[in-house]
A and B are shown apart, each in its own frame.
Chain A
Amino acid sequence: MNNNILVIILASGVFYGTPIFFAALGELFTERSGVLNLGVEGMMLMGGVSAVWASQHIPGSSWFVVLCSILIGAFAGSLVAALHAFLCITLRTNQTVAGLSITIFAGGLGLSSYFANVWDVASETVKHPIRILNPGGLSDAPIVGPIIFHQTILTYLSWVLCVLSLIYLFRTRTGLKLRAVGESPQTADAMGINVVKYRYIHTILGGALAGIGGTYYSLTIVPQWVDGVTKGAGWIAIALVIFGFWRPDLTLLGAYLFGALQSLGLILKSRNIEINGSILDAMPFVMTVVVLVLVSGGWAHKRLQAPASLGVPYEREER
Chain B
Amino acid sequence: MKKMWKLAAIAATASLLVAACGGSDSSSDTTTAPDGDSAVNGDAFTYTNFTPFEGGTVVNCAPADGSAIKAAWVYVGPINDGGWTQTHNVGREFVQETLGDKVITTYKENVPEGPQVEAVIDDLVKDGNTIIFGTSFGFQDAFLAAAEKYPEVCFEFATGYTQKNNVSQFYGASEDTKYLSGIAAGAEAPAGATVGVVAPFAIPEVIRGINGFTLGVQKTNPTATVKVVWTNTWFDPAIERKAAESLISSGVKAIASFQDSPATGEAAKVKGIGWVGYDSDQSVAFNDIWLTASTYDWGPYEVAKIQAAIDGKWISGDYYGNLSDKFVSIANYGKKVTEATKALIASERERLTATPSAEFTGPITAQDGTIKVAEGKLPTYGDLMGMNYQVKGITTDLPQS
Contacts and interface: CB of A to CB of B under 8 A. Distances in A.
Nearest to A134: B270
Contact of A263 (B78, B245, B251): B245
A71 interface: no
7 contacts: A8-B246, A221-B266, A222-B266, A226-B235, A266-B239, A270-B249, A271-B246
A269 interface: yes
B1 interface: no
B10 A124 contact: yes
A127 B24 contact: yes
A8 B14 CA distance: 33
Interface string A155-198: 00000000000000000000000000000000000000000000
B247 A270 contact: yes
Interface stretch (A115-123, A201-209, A310-318): A115-123
Interface of B: 8-11, 13-14, 17-18, 21, 24, 77-78, 80-82, 86, 110, 196, 227, 229-232, 235-239, 241-243, 245-247, 249-251, 261-263, 266, 270, 282, 285, 395-397, 399
B242 A16 contact: yes
A222 B82 CA distance: 13
Nearest to A62: B24
B400 to A, nearest CB: 8
A124 B17 contact: yes
Nearest to A19: B238
A266 B251 contact: no
A124 B242 contact: no
A274 B399 contact: yes
A226 B237 contact: yes
A222 B238 contact: yes
A277 interface: yes
B285 A227 contact: no
A279 interface: no
A271 B261 contact: no
B262 A125 contact: yes
A266 B10 contact: no
B82 A224 contact: yes
Across the A-B interface, the 10 shortest Cβ-Cβ residue pairs: A222-B237, A270-B246, A263-B242, A267-B246, A122-B80, A270-B250, A266-B246, A123-B14, A266-B243, A8-B249
Contacts of B262: 125, 222-224
A5 to B, nearest CB: 8
Given A223-B266, A231-B238, A267 B80 contact: no
A132 interface: yes
Contacts of B246: 8, 12, 263, 266-267, 269-271
Contact of A226 (B11, B229, B261): B261
Contacts of B9: 224, 226
Given A125-B285, A224-B262, A270 B232 contact: no
A290 interface: no
A116 B80 contact: yes
A231 B9 CA distance: 15
A266 B80 contact: no
A272 interface: yes
Interface string A246-261: 0000000000000000
Given A124-B10, A222-B237, 5 more contacts: A127-B24, A224-B10, A267-B242, A267-B249, A269-B246
